């Protein structure tokens, strides 16, 4: 949640402390001490809490941008919900739109979305997609959503 490049993690193993310490010793050449101390200081002085508040605000704003773009770019009647947790939008399209077909056509344009049926063991959500809002908002993202809306419009006819 800070940056994967730091390669620093922490664990509170409780009664498994000794075993976890052994595993750490045999699976690692060592710990990068300076980054470890810097991050420990960052955590102890409230930096992580501040970081989380800032990043949550940024992602909330970004999700709002995605949701507004869907409202602008997708056909009328498209319904959007924001599931609790995560940075995704659940998008319900017209009943005539097949999400699998949409994904196939979108992939030809290098646009990736998740088709609704993969989230159901009973093949529900045939006209749903899950849209990840994790990519930083940009002109490229906006253009992809415009193009996705055009594909959806064509499939809904």
In this predicted model, what pLDDT tens digit does every residue of 84-118 receive, in sequence order? Answer: 888 999 999 999 999 999 999 999 999 999 999 99
* Residue 131 belongs to a domain: yes
Domain of residue 104: give its range: 63-155
Average pLDDT, the chain: 92
Structural domain includes residue 50: no
If you average pLDDT over residues 11-20, what whole number do you get?
86
In a domain, 83, yes or no: yes
Contacts of 107 by beta carbon, 8 Å cutoff, 6+ apart: none
Instruction: Kindly state the average pLDDT of the residues 54-78.
Output: 95
The domain total for the chain is: 1
Task: Report DSSP letters for 44-92, one per residue.
Answer: HTTHHHHHHHHHHHHHHHHHHHHHHHHHHHSPTT-EEE--SSSSEEEEE
Most confident of 4-8, 22-26, 81-85, 111-115: 111-115
> Is 47 contained in some domain?
no
Find the CATH number of the domain harbouring 100.
3.90.1150.10
């Amino acid at each position: 949640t800070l940056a994967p490049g730091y390669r620093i993690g922490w664990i509170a193993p409780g009664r498994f402390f000794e075993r976890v310490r052994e595993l750490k010793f045999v699976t690692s050449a060592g710990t990068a001490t300076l980054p470890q101390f810097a991050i420990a200081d960052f955590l102890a002085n409230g930096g992580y809490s501040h970081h989380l508040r800032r990043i949550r605000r940024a992602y909330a704003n970004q999700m709002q941008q995605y949701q507004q773009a869907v409202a602008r770019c997708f056909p009328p009647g498209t319904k959007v919900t924001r599931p609790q947790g995560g940075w995704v939008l659940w998008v319900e399209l017209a009943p005539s739109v097949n999400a699998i077909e949409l994904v196939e056509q979108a992939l030809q344009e290098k646009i990736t979305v998740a088709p609704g049926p993969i989230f159901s063991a009973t093949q529900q959500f045939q006209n749903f997609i899950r849209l990840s809002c994790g990519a930083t908002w940009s002109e490229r993202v906006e253009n992809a959503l415009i193009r996705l809306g055009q594909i959806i419009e064509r499939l809904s006819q």
